[in-house]
Amino acid sequence: MSSPSVQNILNRNNPLTEGNLSRVAQIDRSMRSSVVFFAVMSALWLVVGSILGVISAIKLHAPEFLNTEAFTFGRSRTLHLNMVAYGWSFNAIFAVSIWLMHRLSRVELRNGWVPILGGIGWNLTLVYGMFAIAGGQMTGVEWLEMPREVAPVLGVSFLLIGLWSVVAFSRRQTTHVYVSQWYILAAMFWLPILYLVAQMMILWFPARGTVQAITNWWFGHNAIGLFLTPVGVASMYYFIPKVLGRPIHSYYLSVVGFWSFALFYNWAGIHHLLGGPVPVWLQSAGIVASVMMVIPVLVTAINFHYTTASAQSWGVVWGSPTLRFTVFGAMNYTLSSFAGSLMALRDVNAVTHFTNFTIGHAHHGMHAFLTMALFGAFYFILPRLTQREWPSAALIHLHFWLCAIGTIGYVVVMSIHGWMQGMQWNAAVMTPAQISAAAQPWNFARTICGSLMTIGHIVFCAHVLWMLVPRAEKRQGPTLFAR
């Protein structure tokens, strides 16, 4: 009997027919249309959203740039935020979660048109929402800027997409539930309730007083923490051991990590309102939860580090597109989460609040961690779905370096400047005009770093589209080694 790896090589040399497809290849094939659809949509949104981010950044040091009503700073920055959050991150997470859940449940995707239908609804609604924002029809509630009429369509679309992960789980052919499945399943339940409550309490039947602000940041922080982050962590828990061919260092710790994550994250969002007119006990609860988040983060960091380092696998990490991006994301998950816990402390928050430090932190989490981890997932998933190798190793290297230098530069620039800004505001020695003038070199550096990331995103998007054209090299088999 042939060994599995030999069988894979044989599969590559044979034409793909139903008869010689392995189980994994059959599962992959069933998901091809749905996952590729979401991957392409996410890449397109990423490019447009990043360009709008650069436009917003340029306006901070050249206010006359693109001086039209639709691209004022207030609108272009909001467009950037919504496009990269709801366009890039959500579409990418739909793709990765559908793929991971079916792979781990060992079941094929049935009725793949349903999530695609949901995806069409999701993306068309986003297009409408973006035009509304550009036209000035926004709510003014951060993370919920799109007009409220988009909510029902986005909600139904999400259910059509997210439900398929739940259906795959319910049909699973395995007895054990892997830790990545826990994270994805929980995320698919957490987000609808967050979105429903936030919409109801802020936009449809507004709560009174500061309850709106509390709900706003409970939603805003948890949309990241209880939807985007869990799928990012699930992806890392799958791809790091999978690509290395070695189980996770301590599965016990991963279970502890999941349950402590589920317990503490929900409370942390209120640290956005420290010093605001909200009950002190609520602020204290937010601080405690933010600090307690050290437990799941530390547990995850230990696991990823020891899995990668225990057998001196750094050469494998560097030689694999998937791991290069994923491990970069894992390291920054640890760093950005620890920074988040520190920023929740009252003394630190008194300096960093209302400064560029917070914006640097947001990019640390959303780009250096999440986006890089999702890139890593796509580098593994797309060749297996399309049966095509990535057309160019050089483009992958270019993509990595542009994004890595851009994102780390951005975080460093914004953190240093944010701290300086906070000290300047608190000292009350300089006038606001002087503080703004002192920010100009930092704002310019911000544009440079943002541009590097954006060029990296364009490279990635072009590479994905190049891979999908029929001329790209076609390979066969359930796994794809570059030989």
Partner 1 sequence: MSPAPVESFWDFSLLGIFLLGFIFLGSAIWALTWSRSSGQFEDLERDSRAIFDADEPEGVVQDRFPR
- Applying CB under 8 A, the residues found at the interface with partner 1 are 4-5, 7-8, 22-25, 104, 106, 174-178, 189, 193, 197, 200-201, 205, 207-208, 238, 241-248, 251-252, 254-255, 259, 262, 316, 319-323, 379-380, 389-393, 396, 478-483
Contact indicator for 445, 409 with CB cutoff of 8 Å: yes
CB of 394 to partner 1, least distance (A): 10
Return the structure tokens found at 181.
């499945």
Task: Report the residue number, 346 or 397, with the smaller CB distance to partner 1.
Answer: 397
Shortest Cβ 307–partner 1 spacing (Å): 10
- Nearest CA to 143 among 191, 76, 198? 198
Tell me the two tokens of residue 76. Answer: 């272009």
Count the Cβ atoms, other than its own, within 10 Å of residue 173.
8
Residue 365 CB, shortest distance to partner 1, in Å, is 24
Cβ nearer to partner 1, comparing 208 with 471: 208
Given a contact cutoff of 8 angstroms between Cβ atoms, the answer to whether 378 and 464 are in contact is yes
Is 428 or 483 the residue whose CB approaches partner 1 more closely? 483
Cβ closest to partner 1, residue 388 vs residue 417 = 388
Q: Least distance (Å) from partner 1 to the CB of residue 226?
A: 11
**Helices (runs of H) and strands (runs of E) counted in the chain:** 20, 0
CB atoms within 10 A of CB 26: 12
Closer to partner 1 at the Cβ: 98 or 133?
A: 98
How many beta carbons lie within 10 A of that of residue 429, not counting itself?
A: 9
Q: How far is the CB of 216 from partner 1 (least distance, A)?
A: 15
Compute the least distance from the CB of residue 111 to partner 1, in Å. 25
What is the spatial distance between Cα 7 and Cα 189, in angstroms, rounded to a whole number? 39
CB nearer partner 1, residue 81 or residue 243: 243
Tell me how far, at minimum, the Cβ of 7 lies from partner 1, in Å.
Answer: 8
Q: 180-203 in b/e burial notation, b at 16+ Cβ within 10 A?
A: bbbbbbbbbebbeebbeebbebbb
Determine the Cα–Cα distance for residues 185 and 317; give it in Å rounded to an integer: 28
Tokens 């990019």 appear where? 363
Q: Which CB atom, from 240 or from 351, has the smaller least distance to partner 1?
A: 240
Helix (H, G, I), strand (E, B) or coil at 474: strand
CB atoms within 10 A of CB 69: 9
